[in-house]
Every structure is written in C-alpha cells, then in structure tokens.
Structure 1
C-alpha cells in the first residue's frame, strides 16, 4: 500500500462519523439492489411452483406420437426428461347429472406421476396397466360409491365430433346440437376392467364446468400394440425463445402430427412466442433497472461528493507535499474500494435479511386471507448474486468518478483556504427582492446560504429529485402492471352457475336458501341484432373493416346484441351500483344499461386493447332486431323488436355476464323488460349465479336436488386462482413501492443531515452575529421550502417523462389510455416538504446546543 492510500485509510479512521455515513449510504444502495433482485426472483419462483403444482412440470407436448417417434424425442438434445401419457374416454353411466358425461382416463408411465399434480388422499398410485386411481369427484358425481379395492369396468374409446369428424380433448366443452342432441360420440370403444388402488384429489386438468371426471391409470410403451399413439411431455434442458421454433421443426421432421406448449409456465421462465410481450418485458425490466441504478448512484454519489468536499483540505495538503493529480484521484477511488469491500457484503446480507423478514409476514397473509398453499421463499441464485455484486460495484465506481475528478483538480492554496466550493460574488448569491418582501430577511439569508455553496445545494436537490422520480415511476409502474394483469383476467364474481332446464323465480328461491349461499341471482339471456351506421363505429372496428377482416352490409355494421335480463332485486342493486335510478326502468319505452367497454386482442399487432363498444350517448336509442339468419342458416329480413333507449353507459358487468368481444353489444335490463322488447320465453336462456362460502359443499347439495336438465358450472377454483394472482401482484408491487419509499426517505435524511453537519461553522457564525433561535428556525423552514420547490420543479417533469416511457413499453402488449396517478403526485408534493422539513429540523436539533466558539474553530464535523 503506497503512502497516499495509507493516509486515506488513516483519514477514514479519524473521521469515523463521515466514514460511517458513507458506508451506510452504500449499504442501503446495495441492499436496495439485492432486495429488488431477490423480490423479483422469489416472486417468479412462487408463480412457477404454483403453476407446476396446478398443471404439472412440462414444457413441450408432442401429441399422437408413435413409439418410434417417442424414442426420437427422448434422444433429442433438448430433452431432459420425457413423460409418456395416453388417454381415452368412457361413458359415465352412473352420473347424477348430464353435465358430467364422461370418465376421462389419463394414463402415465411411472416417472410421469411425479411431474403431474396427483395428490393421493387414500391408497397408492397404479403400478401396472390393470390398476387405476379415481378422482374424489367420481363419488361426488356418481349414484354409485367406489372404494379402494373395488373394480371399475368401462368401455374406453375416442371422443369425436360427429358432424365435423374431429377428435375432441378433455378441454372441449359438450358439443350441443339442436334441441336435446349432442354432436359428439365415442368411437373405437374397448371394454376394460380395472382394480381401484387409490383416490386422488381433483386434478388440475379436471375443470368443474367440463363434462369429465378423471381416472388415472398406468401406461407402458414397451407393451404397446402396433398403431398405438401416445402424448410425449418433455421437460426441456434449455428454455429460451428458440424452443418454440425448434420443437415445431423437430415435430415436422419426425412426422409428429401436432405439438403444443405449456405457455403459462414457459412465460414465467421468460420464453414466449409473443414478440410484443417479450419487447414489453425487456423494456420494463430495463426501465426498472435504470430507476434502481440511478437511485443507487444518487445515494452513493451524494455521500462521496460531500466526502470530497469535507476532505478538500486534506487533499490540498497532499498536493502541497507533492501528490500528483493521479494520486489524488486514485485516493478517492481507493476510498470507494474500501467502502465497497465493506458495504457490498453487508448490503447483500441486509437486503436478503430484509426480504426474509418481509416474507414471514406476507406468508402468514397468503395462507390466512388468500388460502395460497405455496409460500414465498427467499431464492438466491448465483447469477442474481453476480448481478447484485456487479451492479453494486459499478454503481460505486460511477458514484466515485465525478468526485475523484474533482479531487484531482483541487489546488493546494484553494484547498487550504477552503474557497473552492464557496462563491462570494454578488451575482452568485444574488436573490430576488421579492424573497425578502414575501418571506422576510431570514428567508433571504437562507437562500443566500444555499447559493454560497451551490454544489452542496445541488447535491441535496438532486437527491430529492431522484427520490421523487423513484417513487412516482414505481407507483405508475405498479398501477399499470395491475391494470395489465386485470385486462388478461375475466371478471367472475360468483362461484357456481346453473343453466339449462326450466330455471325460474322458484328455482332461484330454492337455491338461494341453501345453507352456504351468500348471494344468488336469476338472469335470462336473449339474442338479437343492431345494424349500426359507419359513423357510430369505434376506431377498432373501422380498422378491421379497412383491413378487410370484416365488412359492412348496406353501409351498416351488423352487431350481435346480447340482452341480459336480471331479477328485480339484483337489478336494483346493480343499477344503484353504477349510479342509475332503478325506478327509471319498466316504463312504456324499453330502457337498458349498455356495457360500453371491451378488451380485445388486435389481430395485426397481437396487442391487448381496450375500446368503446359503439359510439352512443345516454338518452339515444338503438333499434333492436331479431336474427337475420333462420334455423336453416338462410339469410332473412330481420323483424324490428323494439327501440331501446340507452339509460346509462358503464364498464361494470353484473355477475353472470361474460366478458364481451369487439362487435358485440351487451344490454342489461330488468326481467319484465323482456316482454316490452318482444322476446318470448322460448327465445331466452335462463341461468342462476350463486356465491357461496363453501362452493364445493354447495355444488354437492345442488347435485342432491338433481333438478332435471340443469347443468352446473363451478368456477370457484378459476376465480380463486385469478384473485390470488391479482392479490399476489399487489403484494409484490406495493412491497416494491414501500421499499423504494424507505430508500428515498433514507437518501433524503442522509444527504440533508450530512450537509447540515458540514455547515456547523456557518450556523455558528450566524448565531454569533445575533440571529435568534426563532429567526434561525424560520431560516431553516424557508430553506426546506426552497429545497422542496426546486426538487418538485425538476422531479415532476422527469417523472412524467419516465411514465410516458413505461406507457410506451406497456403499449407493445397492452393498449389503454395514459393515466397520470394524480393521487400519488399530490402525496409526493405533501410528503417531500414534510420529509425535508423533518430532516432539517432533526439535523439542526443535533447541533443547536453546540458551543459557538468550538464550532467556529472546527474545520469539519
């Protein structure tokens, strides 16, 4: 170690307060970088584990492949593990209701059962082709009861669409024909008998509204007959965006009929076929990393900038004894290296420790309020540590560069006289005469004090500006992330839906009285058309017409209109919810509420967009027509049903109304309006929606009622998953906001308190010439005001620019209006003055009792 570095180390030891402040600033910065990286990786890990638990661990599915093709898949370089399955359908003859028509047999090889969500409640998993385990829903939906040790006989075949001659999968809903007919059948049926060796929880693929109940068996390619085909699920060894094209090319080369991907899981690993989404993710990641790095640089830079100001005399003394510019510059870099060697390990530990403590509280909430089985775990990857260390080291290097350059230029005379930072020219400290007239002499002195040391003043303002930009940018980011997530989710505010049969008010009362039902509603849906002129179409439809994706008929666009009639009690609640008087309905002229917003995916860009459904105002009328296609599929002249007045426009849909699509209009009316419009009972489709405190129990009770022709759709699990995802995202984003807010506050307190410490001589001088404590406090308040106003003048425009950049990045995938978070802006304006004032008063309180003579004699704090 050369002599200059030894002197630097000694100076750090002698100025413990300043060294400690600098180290703390660097630790906070490194902790922020580590915490943000850990938070992101850990949250992603939670989503990955949740998806694997729900849908199984696989990445690529090769469908209907023979044994030779599966052998080629197993030998492929990117195949880490191959899971072979086969499936088939059998008629569910003992089903209680018609909505469960099939036993779905899904067979795995031994290793496959570890990669798919099979949770045993009783018995064991099958070990040969003669054994099966049944889903617990089999007994729930069957008139017969099956136990471990019983046998199950079924005729297993393929499920085919009888008109279109295509194979149907377990994810296809029932293919209804006219009347009570179904357009599907089982073919190639072979009767088999199995021993039941276990019972499993309802597997993830067995969605409640699909017509299947699961039976899981064993398959073995070694005993396959000629012509047998299987599905091969691949766990890929390398996951990247090339996976999609490579798998398709491989399937084509081997003659495999089709290939599918576990898109949800792959997206969590960062692989997606949507180029727009990939652009969005990379853009947002770049913006957020930029915000974090800028905040870190600001935090550490301020500490080093103030450190160099304080060390000016020390550096001048080194220059007076022959230290070169390079040696002075390197002394600052060496100080940065020492600070980094101490702060980076401590900062990483502090970041990981803070996230661990946070997760302990969050996990309690997840399991209690959200019923999420998975826990957030602190995930530390080697790459994450390398990135955290690298970014932190780079941040410290950048933060020390400007102070080091400044240190190299300090001359011996200026440093010893300490005049390099103080500007005493009249122009430099000139203030407006209005400052004294409006705020008094103390305010003018305070402003002159700031201007005397402009660099220190700007360092403090820069710290405040960065804090403002950090908070508003992250707030905007999190709000839009939540909005984007909600655009991809459906709005399901009920647990169970009943449809078909002769549902009516009596049925509603019957189901509403079930023990656990908390809300119930009856709705009748009818269909019609509205032919809308071109000048009333939204831009989205006009663009489709220009591209030739749809067309006008007689200069009008043919909208399909869904009319939803609600029972009186629920309609009154819905109308009041959106601010409409229910008494205004039921008049001689039919009136309706129009859902005026729709989310759709643009066919050209693949972007999710939000748009109005039609250009119409409240009070205007729509001519509602009957269908222009008869039962034979022939074009006919539609009859006019009614002129419906639009009573209100809203984007809130009631329970039971599915998300609409572009080119469709949804009208909400009270039940008695159906007669006014001209619909007859046979034209409508009834449904009942139920919210329940125990949806699974309620479903079992409905099955016990066994009302003829009633189908049940239990959407509780789907709705719960979507709500959990939204709430998890809120926890992540608001945790991020809280973290950034704390870092910003620490940054402000660190900068201001250090600045005040360095001004002890200045404050002592003012007190020595007669400034009273009251006048001194008044001066400090006005300095805080000047700091806040200056910071907001720069911080708000920069924040808006960052918001626009993030809006543009999100616009690659999600298209909705730019919304300024005015609430957050107002919050920042108030809080910035409070924090600055509190930091100034706190710092002054620490030095107000200092001896004036000792402070005047002191060179540095």
Structure 2
C-alpha cells in the first residue's frame, strides 16, 4: 500500500500542485515570522547585553539622581575593575542647521548622555574626536549620514532643562547592529548641566567586575557599600528588564495569528483536493478492495499521501520562509534596525513548528476524505465513476443553525467576553451550514447569470450546484478572509468616527501643540514663548509634567507622573468628572485625580495627598475626581493627577511643557493664525501644530495605517483562498473531461466554455464574498457594541470599502477562472469523448 500511495502521488503531482503551494505559503508565513523574530531578538539582546555593565546602580525613584561622589565610592569597592558614572536621557531631539531633525529614520528615539571612556560601551569612535567641553557634541554616524550632517556642522539640542547649540566634533558607531536609535554624546560636566540640570548628577553608576569576581558577588559588595536606598542590579537583571523579548514577542504573536488564518484557509483547499481525488479514484479504490485491501489499509494509504504531501510542502515552505526573512532584513533598515550584516538566526524552533504545522494540518484536512475512501466497496470498481451524490443532512442544518443563533446572541450581548465566543460560534456555524446556504444562494446568483449569459449561465450555475459541499468548502476559504477584513473595516471606521465626535465635544482649543517623535522630547520654554509672540494668538493654556513621589492613603508611588496645568485647562479640555469641580480645585490649589488613581489609592474628595519632588514637597487636598478618558482622547498621561502650574514648578523646577493649547484671539482668522503658528515653530521639530481637523485626521490616519497593515497580512489568506477556487475549478474540469467534450461536440464554442468556467468561478467567489461580508459586518457591529462603553460610541459602516470588497470578489473569481477555462476551451472534443 505504501507503493500505491507513492505511485498515486507521482501520478497526481500536477493535481496536487496548488495544495502543495497552499501548504508552502502557510508554512512560509510561520517559518519567516519565527526566523525573523529569532534574528531580531538576537540583535536586540546583543545590544542590551553590550550596553549593560556587570552591576548597575540606579536611584530607587525617578525623582532622584546619583552623584559623582557616589560613583567614587563604588570605584573603591573590592572587585571593581572599572566604573562609569553614566548620564542617559531619552527626552531629547537634535536639529541641524536647517532646523530639521537629525535622525537615522523618521521618529526614531534619541538617547543622549556622556561619552564613556572605559572602552566597554556598545559604541566606539568612528571619526573625529570625543567632545571636550561646552559647545561640543558627538552624534552617531548613521543619523549623521541620513541627515547630511558632517563634523564641524552646528546642531541644536532640545533637552528638558532647555535648548543649546553645539558643534559636531566626532561621530560614533555601534559595535553591534544599530537597534534603530539616534545617539548624542557630551562630556561629563556638560551632560550633567545640559541634560540633567544638576552639575554633578548622574543617572546610573556602571561597575565592571575584575577577573574572577561574579556579578552577584559584586552586587552584594556594592549594596553593602552604598546601603539599601538604591537599586543595585546585575547584568542579567538589566537585560531581562529591558523588555526586548516582550516587544518582539508581541509582534510575533500578531503575525502568527494571521499565519493561523492562512493555515485555516488552506485546510479547505487541501480538504477539497483530497475529496475530489478520492471521488475520481472510486473505481481504483474499489479494485484495491476487490483484490484484498482492507478499509483500514485504504485509509492509511490516503493518510500516507497526505503526510508525504505535508512533508514536501513544509520543506518548501521552510525554505521560502527563510528566504522571506532574509529579504526582510533589508526592509528592517527602514525602521533604523541594521540587520544587513547579521546572519539569520534559524533555531530548531522554526523547522520543528514548520513541519508540525504543515504535516498535521495536511493530514487532518485529509482525514475525512480518507475515511470516505476506506468505505469504498469492491462493487464500486464495476461502476462508472461519477460525481458522488450530495446527501442532505438534517443534523448538519440543525447543528449549524444552532451555532449561528448562539453566535448572534453572543454578539448581541454587548459583552467583550462573549464577543470571542460569538465570533467562533458564528464562523463554525456558517461553515457547517455552508452546503445549505449554497443551495439557497446559488439559484439567486444563477438567475442573474442566466439573464446575462443564457444557457451558458445556466450550465455554469448548475455545475456549482452538483456538489454543494465542494462549493461551500471552496467559498468558505474566501469567506474567512473577507469576514476578518470586513469586521476590522467596521471597527476602524467606528473608531475613527467616535474619535472625531469626541474631539468635537471635548477639545475646546483651536490649535493643539503636541510633542512629536519617539522619546517624547519636551516642549521647552522657548516653544511657549514663540507661541505667545504669534500675531492673532489669544488664549494659551499649557500642560506640563514631571515625576514626583506620591504618598496617598497608605500607598507610596515612587517616580509617579504628575501634571501641572494652567487655570483655564478644564475649559479648553472638557472632561467628565465623577465628583468635585476642576475649576474650583485649581483655583484653591487642590489636586485632581483620575477615577482609577483614586480607586487604587483609596482616596476621595477631601482626602490629602503628599507630593515629593526634587526641589521640595507639598501636601494637597483632593478637589475633584475625573472619569477615564475614552481611547484616543487622552491629552498627556491619562491617569496622571494634575495640579496648578505654580505648584508643580515649585517642587519640580525642571518640568517642561508636554502640551500647549491655543485659541485664536476674537475676530482673528484661524487659518492665518494656524499658518503663523506653524511658521513660528518651524525651528522646533519636537513641536507639532494641529488644528481640530488635523487632530481628527491624525487619529483616523493611525486607524487607517493599522488597517492597511492588517489587510497586507490578510493578503496571504485571500491568495490561498483564490488558489482554492482555481484548484476546485481545475480538478472539476478534469473530472468533467468527457462532459465538456460532449458539450463541445454538440456546438458549445470555446468562448462559451470559457464563459461557463468563468461563471462557475465568479459564482463561487461571490458566494464566499457575500457570506464573508454577512459574517464580518456582524462581527464588526458586535465589536462596536461591546466597546461602546469604552469610547467607541458611534457605529460606522464603510460602504465604499464594502463595495470594494464585492468588486474584489468578482475580480478574484474572474482571475481564478483564467487557467482552468483556458484548459477547458483547448480540450479536443474527440479525445475527451473517447476517454473512458
């Protein structure tokens, strides 16, 4: 029987080609994702390890800094070979002489600090020299090359204590692949003054162990020397804390989720292929039974064919996946991540998962056809092979209908927990009900085809009705991809509409000046000063932030964010409040808490809370509690308490503005004021000016960008679904070889044969598209209802997108018909009729 299986595979290799391709594409998605994940993780982990010392000392609170004197104490600890008093901040941006951001790629984060001279840093001098005084800076060579900055050029650095100018005297480069960051280095004293505002301050003390001293032993010695008021961490702890694994894993899980959709779609293609091949080999299987093969042996033979097909497809897919990962290394440079010189990291996980996915899915998809093959009787060898009857199953209808009803009921509950069950139940229900729905939908589509194409349209429609299970399985593959796309389109449109509505009702400022770029560089005081000088500007309301220690009730939060706002802030950003008045609170010097913050601290209006900043402390009374901000409508840090600007400035003098809201003066042209603001802030790339329309557009652009990425990842699933349509039609043409020859003999022209196959394909594609739209719109509406209490208050159906999906379904059907229709049209009638 093994020989029979291998011989069948060799004899039907052309018919199995599309199934092989579906397996390979699905496995390639999985393998490519895992290989790229392992490669990126290796690079990011190497960067984290290269930057970590054997032991790192940090302040226990964000409001504190270490000092150079404490670094000297660490240097005297037994077992310390070298010490680096590090200054490292990320809220910085660098401008060139044209006031353009100096960056390796757009919005890349910038890290600024002092140049390390221990020789153990993950960066080295590439050109020029290290900075040696105020007014000298060093930047990394990648951002310099991308921005056209050379040694000797003037740049401006915007930091929290204020902006300053400097001359580029050197270029640095990573000793590991660039992880996508911009670097700025100053000498020790300048970095402390310009970046921290503390002349002898440092952000961390890095200690390197002498030979033979373990990092844990050194950590204990340093902790004993400094006391327990600091965080003393080993290199292992620092690398684990960096979170590189978590961030990469998040992307990996999302991509594997879409790979799972592609695999699911591929199962329908494989199932149809084996079902049709088993039907075509009925006489052969009956003959095997007649000569002594048992039903179990026949089943094993079919499963063996599926197993071998899965192995071959997995091998091809693994190779394609590795190739795709290699190609994407170049694309990573667009995000500032340099993988060009890095070898791909192919761990055992990628091949193991690839072969498991490819073989298990293929074998599982072939089990039902194998079971049918095992039931073939010896007498079947004497019958003329024909399409099997399509039995009507009452249990199928009842089970499928019950699942759809349960799914719809779950989607209607407006519960996020029930949403997942509703999606799964409705999907499985529609797949089970597929043949029943096909029998209902195809006559409707057939009537249109008959009206347009006459007898050819009738032939094409009836061919799809001959095996409703086959048609339903083929359509189901396309249905899944369309359903996910439609659901996400509804969610995206509803989110955008809800955000726009909230902006209209909440934001009372004509213009909002926000921080742009990663790392959130501050809006330094000269930004607000420039805004006030713009002709036509009336009201200017600032929001600034700083980390302070917060003591409320019995809880202490070290380095918690607190915002300082101008008195008019509640009037220009209209939030909902659970209790108290924000205007009265600010007027009387009280603090306003978010509802979640108050619940965590166990505080209510009238309770007192202590704020301890770098320059002083204050005890304030809770004056108001605000409701949570809807998603996408947070200005600044949504959960952070806010106090008066004067209070925050007194306890944290280095705090800088995070947001500036501006209203045009009465009677002034807002368009002209907006243009003047943009011009005045051209020299501050960390500041982005948005009017309400631009704010809405920004929110919508974010949603659209995510949606486009989702569409791109769904593209593979849709491609496999289209391959499924091609596969079904191609095998159907072979199955109806004599029939098509007979039609040609009685007068059907080649063009009519082409039209007939095209109608079959289009009807199948439209059936899958229609069911997918029905399912996806239901999912989208259910998701919107479930999230209506979380800010997605408006239901919006993007009818243009729906129309585009229908059009894409028609195009997919026509494209899928090209190859099978061409083969059918070229068929020689005499040869076809003579085929037994």
Both structures adopt the same fold (TM-score exceeding 0.5): yes
Q: Check 1:282–1:221 CA distance in 2 against 1; reply closer, same or farther (3 A cut).
A: closer
1:297-312 equivalent positions in 2, closer than 5 A: 297-312=267-282
Q: Distance in 1 between matches of 2:125 and 2:708?
A: 29
2:121 maps to which of 114, 129, 132? 114
505, 517, 525: which one aligns with 2:540: 525
SS of the aligned residue for 1:525 comes to strand
TM-superposed deviation, 1:784: 3.3
2:15 partner SS: helix
Residue in structure 1 matched with residue 832 of structure 2 by the alignment: 855
Cα deviation, 1:424-461, whole Å, max 9, x if unaligned, reads: 99999995795687443332222222222333323322
CA change 1:787–1:40 in 2 (3 A) is farther
Q: Aligned pair in 2 of structure 1 residues 84, 470: CA closer, same or farther (>3 Å)?
A: farther
Alpha-carbon distance in structure 2 between the residues aligned to 1:321 and 1:490: 81
Comparing 815-824 and 437-446, the one that deviates more: 815-824
Partner of 2:466: 452
CA distance 1:737–1:408, change in 2 (3 Å): same
Q: Which residue of 1 aligns with 2:631?
A: 610
Tell me the CA shift for residue 821 of structure 1. Answer: 5.9
SS of the equivalent of 1:796 reads helix
Q: SS in structure 1 opposite 2:757?
A: helix
- Matched ranges for 1:390-409 at <5 A: 390-409=356-375
1:805-850: CA deviations, max 9, x gaps? 9889999999787766655543332122112112223311123122
Deviation digits for residues 261-286 of structure 1 (CA, Å, limit 9, x no counterpart): 545x363255xxxxxxx8xx898578
Query: Which string of whole-angstrom CA distances, capped at 9 and with x for unpartnered residues, describes residues 648-698 of structure 1?
Result: xxxxxxxx99558xxxxx453159869xxxxxxxxxx99952258xx7xxx
C-alpha separation in 2, matches of 1:306 and 1:287: 30
Counterpart residue number, 2:236: 236
- For 1:845 and 1:819, the matched residues in 2 are separated by 43
* Cα 1:221/1:57, change in 2 over 3 Å: closer
Residues 629 and 412 from structure 1, CA distance in 2 versus in 1: closer, same or farther, beyond 3 angstroms? closer
The offset of 1:326, in angstroms, is: 0.8
- Deviations along 1:289-330, whole A, 9 cap, x unmatched? 542331232333333233323322221221222222211111
Does the CA contact (< 8 Å) of 1:446 and 1:783 recur in 2? yes
CA apart distance, 1:523: 9.1
| d(CA) in 2 for partners of 1:730, 1:50 | 32
CA contact (8 A) 1:460 1:752 kept: no
2:819 matched to 1:842? yes
Aligned equivalents of 1:811, 1:58: Cα separation in 2:
50
Give the counterpart of 1:10 among 7, 22, 26. 7
Where do 5+ consecutive residues of structure 1 fail to align?
A: 76-80, 90-103, 124-132, 142-170, 176-196, 244-260, 271-277, 510-520, 561-599, 615-626, 634-655, 661-665, 675-684, 696-712, 717-724
Give me the whole-angstrom Cα distance separating, in 2, the residues matched to 1:36 and 1:766. 49
Structure 1 segment 325-404 matched on structure 2, within 5 A: 325-360=295-330, 362=331, 366=333, 375=340, 378-404=344-370
C-alpha separation between the residues in 2 aligned to 1:467 and 1:799? 9
Other structure's SS at 2:234 match: strand
Q: Tell me what 1:499 maps to.
A: 525
Q: Does 1:267 align with 2:246?
A: yes
Q: Which residue of 2 aligns with 1:514?
A: none
Task: Verify: 1:668 aligned to 2:634, yes or no.
Answer: no
Instruction: State the alpha-carbon separation in 2 of the partners of residues 228 and 419 from structure 1.
Output: 87
> CA offsets, 1:471-527, max 9 Å, x none?
55788899999999xx9x965289996634995699889xxxxxxxxxxx9997344
Number of aligned positions between the proteins: 600
Q: Deviations over 1:391-446 (max 9, x none)?
A: 22221121111211121122333465356734499999995795687443332222
Q: Is the 1:768–1:852 contact (alpha carbons within 8 Å) kept by the matching residues of 2?
A: yes
C-alpha separation in 2, matches of 1:225 and 1:52: 22
Local SS of the residue matching 1:18: coil
Given that 1:503 and 1:688 are in contact with CA atoms closer than 8 Å, whether structure 2 keeps it comes out as no
Structure 1 position 288, deviation (Å): 3.5
Equivalent residues of 1:496, 1:715 under 8 A apart: no
Distance in 1 of aligned mates of 2:58 and 2:303:
57
- Please name the residue that 1:830 is paired with: 807
Aligned equivalent of 1:551: 580
Question: In the alignment, is residue 202 of structure 1 matched against residue 217 of structure 2?
Answer: no
SS of residue matched to 1:114: coil
Residues 162-205 of structure 1: CA deviation (Å, up to 9, x unaligned): xxxxxxxxx99459xxxxxxxxxxxxxxxxxxxxx998662499
Is the contact between residue 269 and residue 474 of structure 2 (CA under 8 Å) also seen in structure 1? Answer: no
- State the Cα deviation string for residues 214-266 of structure 1 (Å, max 9, x = none): 99998678898995577644333798xxx7xxxxxxxxxxxxxxxxx545x36
Asked if 1:463 is matched to 2:477, the reply is yes
More displaced 10-residue stretch of structure 1: 809-818 or 349-358:
809-818
- Structure 1 residue 59: deviation in Å? 11
Q: What is the distance in 1 between the residues matched to 2:530 and 2:479?
A: 62
2:150 corresponds in structure 1 to none
Please give the alpha-carbon distance, in whole angstroms, between the structure 2 residues aligned to 1:501 and 1:391: 56
Query: 1-side partners of 2:390 and 2:646: how far apart?
Result: 93
Equivalent residue, structure 1, for 2:152: none
Matches of 1:172 and 1:734, distance apart in 2:
39
Q: Report how far residue 791 of structure 1 moved.
A: 1.0
State the match for 2:455 in structure 1.
Answer: 441
Shift of residue 39 of structure 1? 4.9
The answer on whether the counterparts of 2:27 and 2:314 sit within 8 Å (CA) in structure 1 is: yes
Aligned-pair CA distance for 1:752: 3.0
